[in-house]
Amino acid sequence: MKRLISIFVLLILLVPSFAQNKFASADFVWTEASELTLTGKVFQDTPLPYQRMDFDRFGGWTEKDIARLEMSAGVIVTFETDSPEIRVRAEWIKAGSGNLSPQASRGFDLYIKKDGKWLWAGIRALDKGEEPKEGVLVANMDEKMKECLLYFPTHSVEKSVKIGVVDGYKLKPGQEPFRHRICLHGSSFMHGSYTTRAGATVPGFLSRLTGLMFCNLGVGGDCLMQPQFAKALKDADVEAFVFDSFSNGSDASVKKNFFKFIEIIQSGQKGKPLIFMSSIYRENRNFDTVVDKKEAAKDAMARKLMAEALQKYDDVYFIESNAANEWHETTVDGVHPGDAGYFLWALSVKDQILDILAKYGIE
Backbone angles phi, psi at 156, to 5 degrees: -125, 160
Q: Is the pLDDT of residue 9 over 50?
A: no
Contacts of residue 75, Cβ cutoff 8 Å, sequence gap at least 6: 38, 40, 41, 50, 52, 151, 152, 216
What does the pLDDT read at residue 14? 44
Contacts of residue 138, Cβ cutoff 8 Å, sequence gap at least 6: 85, 86, 110, 112, 121, 122
- Cβ 303 vs Cβ 292: under 8 Å: no
Mean predicted lDDT score pLDDT of the chain: 93
> Same domain, yes or no, for 224 and 282?
yes
> Same domain, yes or no, for 296 and 188?
yes
Averaged pLDDT, 117-141 = 95
In the structure, what pLDDT confidence band is assigned to residue 4 with cuts at 50, 70 and 90? Answer: very low
CA distances from 96 to 71, 247, 333 (A): 9, 23, 19
Strands of the chain, DSSP E:
28-32, 37-39, 76-81, 86-94, 107-114, 117-125, 133-138, 146-151, 157-166, 171-173, 179-186, 212-218, 240-244, 274-277, 316-319
> Same domain, yes or no, for 205 and 145?
no
What does the pLDDT read at residue 15? 43
> Same domain, yes or no, for 101 and 156?
yes
Using a pLDDT cut of 70, give the percent of the chain over it: 94
In the structure, what pLDDT confidence band is assigned to residue 318 with cuts at 50, 70 and 90? Answer: very high
What does the pLDDT read at residue 147? 98
Residues β-bridged to residue 59: none
Q: Is residue 158 part of a domain?
A: yes
> Same domain, yes or no, for 262 and 244?
yes
In the structure, what pLDDT confidence band is assigned to residue 8 with cuts at 50, 70 and 90? Answer: very low
Q: How far apart are CA 258 and CA 251, in angstroms?
A: 10
The alpha carbon torsion through 274, 359, 357, 349 (nearest 10 deg) reads 90
Burial string for 74-105 (b: 16+ CB within 10 Å, else e) reads: bbbbbbbbbbbbbbbbbbbeebbeeebbbbbb
> Same domain, yes or no, for 293 and 163?
no
> Same domain, yes or no, for 150 and 195?
no
Last residue within a domain, chosen from 135, 151, 173: 173
> Same domain, yes or no, for 169 and 183?
no
Last residue within a domain, chosen from 147, 173, 199: 173
Backbone angles phi, psi at 91, to 5 degrees: -120, 115
Q: How many domains in the chain?
A: 2
Print the domain residue range for 102: 25-40+75-173
Q: How far apart are CA 55 and CA 114, in angstroms?
A: 38
State pLDDT tens for residues 57-80.
999 999 999 999 999 999 999 999
User: 1 or 245, which is more confident?
Assistant: 245
Q: Is residue 61 part of a domain?
A: no
What does the pLDDT read at residue 240? 98
State pLDDT tens for residues 205-259.
999 999 999 999 999 999 999 999 999 999 999 999 999 999 999 999 999 999 9
Q: Is the pLDDT of residue 19 over 60?
A: no
In the structure, what pLDDT confidence band is assigned to residue 10 with cuts at 50, 70 and 90? Answer: very low
In the structure, what pLDDT confidence band is assigned to residue 25 with cuts at 50, 70 and 90? Answer: confident
CATH number at residue 189: 3.40.50.1110
State pLDDT tens for residues 282-314.
999 999 999 999 999 999 999 999 999 999 999
State pLDDT tens for residues 78-106.
999 999 999 999 999 999 987 899 999 99
> Same domain, yes or no, for 219 and 290?
yes
Helix spans in 112-211 (H):
188-191, 202-210
> Same domain, yes or no, for 123 and 191?
no
Q: How far apart are CA 328 and CA 344, in angstroms?
A: 12
Last residue within a domain, chosen from 173, 190, 220: 173
Q: Is the pLDDT of residue 2 over 50?
A: no
Q: How far apart are CA 140 and CA 347, in angstroms?
A: 34
CA distances from 126 to 14, 137, 212, 263, 363 (A): 22, 11, 29, 42, 37
- Cβ 80 vs Cβ 145: under 8 Å: yes
- How many residues does the structure list for the chain? 363
What does the pLDDT read at residue 228? 97
State pLDDT tens for residues 31-40.
999 999 999 9
